[in-house]
Structure 1
Amino acid sequence: MHFLETLLNAHLTIGGVPILWREIIGNVFGLASAVGGMRRVVWAWPVGIVGNLLLLTVFLGGVFHTPQNLDLYGQAGRQVMFLVVSVYGWRQWARARAAGRREPEETDPARSIVAAVEPRWATARERVGIVVAAVVLTVAFGYLFEALGSWGPWPDAWIFTGSLLATYGMARGWTEFWLIWVGVDIVGVPLLLKAGYYPSAVLYIVYGAFVIWGFVVWLRTQRARPSVVPAAERAMTTGR
């Protein structure tokens, strides 16, 4: 019990501001997961899950008595959502990888990898679904978080919704998921800075640059093989 309390309360102080180590470590795992997602490797999902568990305790600040002592239910709730969607994505990518083929690695063409997903644009129907879900879920979660007393409920609602859509899009192999992350970062950075979650805010800025790079990498891969979609992934995409 003493070890657990020490782990939860461990922090460093920068400029007189206490910063929890679990917030730093959780975000590092999140960044590592994003790198794995860009490279389309299966380990991106379990690594992300570890980061989600740590950050869940950070954003329930009132429950776990963080230095900020603020409950951001959208930020905390999205960690739970990530856990659920990550299990789905882990399963989907593992299946695709098992049935996949080797291809040149984007960052080192001399090497080859077995990619877990084939990047593609969402269909017109899927894009309409993304937009409708973004509007409906943001409004619904905004009212819910406001009723629960969340700090900054409306931007928090978009961050939660956008994270849900982006993570699901990554699991399905939609190249657009990187652009959804950009929208999440634009709202997330001001919210986290104002709430005092500085490591998370800084990492959101890093994410902003990273997701643009990831989008370019996936777009290059997609354009290099515009008509090649493995049968295994077609089956997962269409359900047949």
Structure 2
Amino acid sequence: MNPLLWLFDAQIRIGDQVVLWREVLGNVFGLLSALGGMRRRVWAWPVGIAGNVLLFTVFLGAVFDTPHPVNLLGQAGRQVMFVIVSAYGWWRWSRRGEARAFSPRWASWPARIGIVVVMVGGTLALTPLFRALGSYEPVWSDAWIFVGSLLATYGMARGWVEFWLIWVAVDAVGVPLLFSAGYYASGAMYAFYGAFTIFGFVVWARSRRPQRVLPGTQPATAGVETASPAPDRAAP
């Protein structure tokens, strides 16, 4: 059997519910990407892209004739957005050399204000568009997830600690939406992501604490960049 055809059709039955293997594997790749991002590893980006490709076919259920005849346009569209922004993040982190030399930083206040404005304004702007295209109700939540995912992925590429908090806001809306639409594997993974992103935020925030240097010693900075991950510091 063709492995791609098998992957496209493979299903898991749990009682009277059907879960696609593509949905499970796509979310596993997403989790591995989040883990790699927390550890600041470049491989997080290509792994995440592989998961995005799988989930794109899952969330266009009516188009690809899956057991879930529901189109979540925001969810599907954000997979395309993920691939584009992840390619940017992959390039940005790769040019630093070793991923461990990448240093997270706090976003500036103008950048934080910009995040809030884009999050709210983007949701308001996309909601009527997604509704006209036939997205699943409540459409505003689909738009919120799309815009938040864009900002979080961009923030990760820029090395902003706050990007983890954006994911928390996305997961808080995404979990009930996915369960209501019948995407149980993705909903369960989003719930797990919610806890994981809080942990990731703590890890990155702690990395920004100044090192304690004992008298007569030098700070351990070999191989670790103490400046921002890139010369440009513009807000989104």
TM-score, length basis structure 2: 0.89
The CA deviation at 1:225 is 5.1
Q: Which of 111, 120, 139 does residue 105 from structure 2 map onto?
A: 120
1:193-217 Cα deviation digits (max 9, x unpaired): 0000000000001101100110010
Distance change in 2, residues 1:55/1:225 (3 Å): farther
Tell me the equivalent position of 1:235.
231
The CA deviation at 1:4 is 4.0
The CA deviation at 1:83 is 0.2
Q: Which of 187, 190, 199 does residue 201 from structure 1 map onto?
A: 187
Question: Structure 2: which amino acid aligns with 1:170?
Answer: M
The structure with more strand, counted as a fraction of residues = 1
The CA deviation at 1:5 is 3.6
> Do the aligned partners of 2:148 and 2:166 also contact (CA within 8 Å) in 1?
yes
The structure with more helix, counted as a fraction of residues = 1
The number of equivalent residue pairs is 223
1:127-182 Cα deviation digits (max 9, x unpaired): 11111111111111111101101112210000000000000000001111000100
The CA deviation at 1:52 is 0.1
Q: Which of 146, 169, 172 does residue 183 from structure 1 map onto?
A: 169
Task: Write the distance in 2 (CA, Å) between the matches of 1:33 and 1:46.
Answer: 8
> Do the aligned partners of 2:52 and 2:79 also contact (CA within 8 Å) in 1?
yes
The CA deviation at 1:120 is 1.2
- Tell which deviates more after alignment, 2-11 or 158-167: 2-11
Task: Write the distance in 1 (CA, Å) between the matches of 2:3 and 2:94.
Answer: 35
1:136 equivalent in alignment to 2:121: yes
> Do the aligned partners of 1:41 and 1:116 also contact (CA within 8 Å) in 2?
no
Aligned positions of 1:30-179 closer than 5 A? 30-96=30-96, 98=97, 114-152=99-137, 153-179=139-165
1:99-119 Cα deviation digits (max 9, x unpaired): x6xxxxxxxxxxxxx525311
SS state at 1:57 partner: helix
Distance change in 2, residues 1:223/1:13 (3 Å): same
> Do the aligned partners of 2:103 and 2:227 also contact (CA within 8 Å) in 1?
no
Tell me the equivalent position of 2:196.
210
Task: Write the distance in 2 (CA, Å) between the matches of 1:50 and 1:3.
Answer: 16
Q: Which structure 1 segments of 5+ residues have no match?
A: 101-113
> Do the aligned partners of 2:174 and 2:187 also contact (CA within 8 Å) in 1?
yes
> Do the aligned partners of 2:19 and 2:185 also contact (CA within 8 Å) in 1?
yes
Question: Structure 2: which amino acid aligns with 1:62?
Answer: A
TM-score, length basis structure 1: 0.87
Tell me the equivalent position of 1:107.
none
Task: Write the distance in 1 (CA, Å) between the matches of 2:162 and 2:226.
Answer: 20
The CA deviation at 1:3 is 5.2
Q: Which structure 2 segments of 5+ residues have no match?
A: 213-220
Question: Structure 1: which amino acid aligns with 2:100?
Answer: A
SS state at 1:149 partner: coil
1:1-57 Cα deviation digits (max 9, x unpaired): 965443211101012211100000000000000000000010000000000000000
